[in-house]
Structure 1
Amino acid sequence: MAEHQESYEFSAVETKDILAERERGWEGFTQFLTWSLLVTALVLIALLVFVA
């Protein structure tokens, strides 16, 4: 049977690194949300124009 690792060594993580990563994630999310709302609005407008 293979031996299991029973301890882990973690490197030091700076607060600024965590905040920078979360800010990039938030900016990506808000950009995705903005574009998805814009595309949804354009699709609804196109349906209104071409179907109605």
Structure 2
Amino acid sequence: MAEQQTYDFVEVKPADILAERQREWAGFTTFMTWGTGVVVAILVLVYLLWG
């Protein structure tokens, strides 16, 4: 017979959820800023080299 598995649940506090979402948002905005900069740089290079 299979062993019964048990789970230990940890209390999640609203402050922890908020901190996690703020980190995710900061990472997203940083990624979008760098991504936009890279796209603009590529478009400028295309314009200068082939335009």
TM range (shorter): 0.7 to 0.9
Mapped to 2, the partners of 1:22 and 1:36 lie a distance apart of 21
Q: Which runs of 5+ in 2 are unaligned?
A: none
TM-score normalised by the chain length of structure 1 = 0.83
Residue identity (%): 45
Please list every run of 5 or more consecutive structure 1 residues that lacks an aligned counterpart in the other structure.
none
What amino acid is the match of 2:32? Answer: L
Runs of 4+ in 1 over 6 A off after TM superposition: none
Aligned CA-pair RMSD: 1.4
Task: Say whether 1:3 aligns with 2:11.
Answer: no
For 1:27 and 1:45, the matched residues in 2 are separated by 27
Q: TM-score if structure 2 supplies the norm length?
A: 0.84
